[in-house]
Chains A and B, each alone.
Chain A
């Protein structure tokens, strides 16, 4: 299945701490994307990492990709209360233009 599986399912941290969430998948991919969903809202694209990249940064976000292990991680540094949301990884294979989402990681940042 192209679906990504996020781990842990829930994560609670104090404001200012770093948050790390992981994603595993089963098929070969062209890229892997991370999305955020605030409660009651739609998903927002955060970052995309291509299969030939190992690490990518965007602001306080750092994403790694290990295609040999079929895994990715998302690190949010210096977390803020506004980072409280669910985070989904989505492995992508070119051609179908489809994303398959797992259950996500629910992050709670306590002020």
Chain B
């Protein structure tokens, strides 16, 4: 079974630029999550999708972050414009509505 795929693995941008991350969850997994993990911290939930609908985006900084999950499969997370404090690893995870989450390898973003 293929795991959760994410791309790119690494991204370096200047502040005020925009960036987008892509996630392909495990086939058949209805629920998809985006997390932000700052160095030395645990993952922090940004947004949760159930199929193509948003379940919880209460911790998503909506003035600069946006996410979508068209057709209930792949998802993209965008930051526009990026700030220095957005430097982090962005993790995507999915679950077939069970207790366990399956994580992708993450995208490491550096904002200069």
Q: Do A and B come from one complex?
A: yes
Q: B43 touching A101 by the CB < 8 A rule?
A: yes
Chain A residues near B105 (CB-CB < 8 A): 41-42
Chain A residue at minimal CB-CB distance from B48: A98
Contacting chain B: which of A12-20, A43-51, A52-60? A43-51
Q: Using known A-B contacts A41-B105, A97-B31, determine if residue A103 contacts B99 with beta carbons closer than 8 Å.
A: no
Chain B residue at minimal CB-CB distance from A101: B42
- Does B103 make an interface contact (CB < 8 A)? yes
Chain A residues 49 to 105 lying within 8 A of chain B, measured CB to CB, are: 88, 92, 94, 96-104
Name the residue in B93, B101, B104 with the highest tally of chain A Cβ atoms < 10 Å from its Cβ.
Answer: B101
Q: Using known A-B contacts A48-B99, A102-B42, A104-B42, determine if residue A42 contacts B48 with beta carbons closer than 8 Å.
A: no
- Chain A's interface size range is 20 to 34
Q: A98 touching B45 by the CB < 8 A rule?
A: yes
Chain B residues 25 to 40 lying within 8 A of chain A, measured CB to CB, are: 31, 33, 40
Q: B40 touching A43 by the CB < 8 A rule?
A: no
Q: Using known A-B contacts A33-B100, A88-B42, A103-B41, determine if residue A97 contacts B95 with beta carbons closer than 8 Å.
A: yes
Given contacts A42-B104, A48-B99, A103-B41, could you give 13 more A-B pairs where the C-beta distance is less than 8 Å?
A40-B108, A43-B103, A45-B102, A88-B42, A97-B55, A97-B97, A97-B99, A98-B33, A98-B56, A99-B45, A101-B43, A101-B44, A104-B42
7 closest pairs, A vs B, by CB?
A101-B42, A42-B103, A43-B103, A42-B105, A45-B100, A101-B43, A42-B106
Chain B residues close to A by CB (< 8 Å) = 4, 31, 33, 40-45, 48, 55-56, 91, 93, 95, 97, 99-106, 108
